[in-house]
């Protein structure tokens, strides 16, 4: 792995710098700016660092923030394959290219949270603490069942169509994944989360979970009630197993990182606390 213009990976004066990490045949776009404690923010599936702009700007007030685009997202190049391990390798490559003064706080949203847990479990000395936003949930049973497939396939088709419109504009919000890629990754993430509790058992750092109480929306009909109950059950399972985990619940859906950026930034910027809170 090599990084283009490696010197631009250094920060400290608050200016935002941009550089590229070349890895596994793809180009990963990285941005770094702000002052203070190092923090690395990993976006999720179908989200980009441009999407997370509001949260990033808030965190840069008192953190040296690094964020990037996963393969096939935003300003990163497309890839021949999209899988959990391929995305994890992107995170590993970015962290390896950085010249940080100390182990960073690792923040992940959605799929990014799962990637952060896997990274921290294998490299405990490379991370100071974890903040996980609506992901990395050790679900006691699959989120997507046979009864859910048609709904999730339709959601993937709709999302891919909207992403095609973004690609036509050539914006930093574009995503290159097809509907088949999206559905396949969602099914793979279910499998990853079925075993992620074993990863948590390797982590002794402070962990804060910022979760949506209505990940599937607030409808009392259809599949939403099951999915919302299952989402909370997974975190309750985690806290029973690992009581050092702090949890913060927002009465909203999976878009919380966009709709509640200021509140989430305050939690990230505050000292870890051993408590549970509903917000």
Per-residue pLDDT of the chain (279 residues; tens, 9 = 90+): 334 434 345 555 678 999 999 999 999 999 999 999 999 999 999 999 999 999 999 999 999 999 999 999 999 999 988 999 999 999 999 999 999 999 999 999 999 999 999 999 999 999 999 999 999 999 999 999 999 999 999 999 999 998 887 787 888 999 999 999 999 999 999 999 999 999 999 999 899 999 999 999 888 888 899 999 999 999 999 999 999 899 999 999 999 999 999 999 999 999 765 446 677
Within 8 A by CB and 6+ apart from 278, the residues are 213, 249, 251
Question: What is the pTM assigned to this prediction?
Answer: 0.93
User: Would you state the pLDDT for residue 5?
Assistant: 37
Asked if residue 260 belongs to a domain, the reply is yes
Asked if residue 252 belongs to a domain, the reply is yes
Asked if residue 179 belongs to a domain, the reply is no
CATH code where residue 77 lies: 3.40.50.1820
**Domain count across the chain:** 1
Asked if residue 138 belongs to a domain, the reply is yes
Asked if residue 69 belongs to a domain, the reply is yes
Asked if residue 174 belongs to a domain, the reply is no
Asked if residue 177 belongs to a domain, the reply is no
Three-state secondary structure readout of the chain: CEEECHHHHCCCCCCCEEEEEEECCEEEEEEEEECCEEEEEECCCCCCCCCCHHHHHHHCCCEEEEEECCCCECCCCCCCCCCHHHHHHHHHHHHHHCCCCCCCEEEEECHHHHHHHHHHHHCHHHCCEEEEECCCCCCCCCCCCHHHHHHHHHHHHHHHHHHHHHHHHCCCCCECCCHHHHHHHHHHHHHHHHCHHHHHCCCCCCEEEEEECCCCCCCCCCCHHHHHHHHHHHHHHHHHHCCCEEEEEECCCCCHHHHCHHHHHHHHHCCCCCCEEEC
Structural domain boundaries, residue 21: 2-143+194-278
């Amino acid at each position: 792995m090599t990084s283009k213009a490696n010197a631009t990976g250094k920060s400290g004066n608050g200016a935002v710098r941009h550089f590229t990490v070349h890895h596994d045949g793809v180009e990963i776009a990285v941005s770094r700016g702000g002052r203070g404690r190092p923090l690395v923010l990993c976006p999720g599936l179908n989200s980009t660092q441009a999407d997370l702009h509001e949260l990033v700007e808030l965190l840069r007030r008192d953190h040296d923030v690094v964020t990037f685009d996963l393969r096939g997202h935003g300003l990163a190049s497309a890839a021949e394959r999209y899988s959990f391990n391929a995305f994890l390798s992107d995170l590993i490559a970015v962290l390896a290219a950085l010249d940080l003064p100390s182990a960073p706080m690792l923040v992940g949203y959605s799929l990014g949270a799962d990637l952060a847990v896997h990274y921290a479990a294998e490299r405990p000395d490379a991370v100071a603490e974890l903040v996980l936003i609506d992901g990395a949930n050790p679900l006691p049973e699959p989120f997507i069942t046979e009864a859910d497939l048609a709904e999730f396939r339709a959601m993937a088709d709709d999302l891919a169509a909207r992403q095609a419109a973004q690609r036509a504009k050539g914006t930093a919000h574009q995503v290159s994944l097809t509907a088949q890629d999206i559905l396949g990754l969602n099914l793979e993430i279910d499998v990853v989360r079925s075993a992620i509790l074993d990863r948590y058992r390797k982590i002794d750092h402070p962990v804060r979970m910022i979760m949506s109480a209505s990940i599937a929306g607030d409808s009392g009909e259809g599949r939403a009630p099951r999915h919302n109950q299952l989402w909370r059950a997974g975190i309750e399972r985690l806290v029973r197993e690992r009581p050092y985990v702090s949890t913060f619940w927002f009465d909203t859906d999976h878009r919380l990182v966009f709709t509640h950026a200021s509140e989430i930034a305050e939690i990230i910027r505050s000292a870890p606390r051993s408590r549970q809170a509903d917000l």
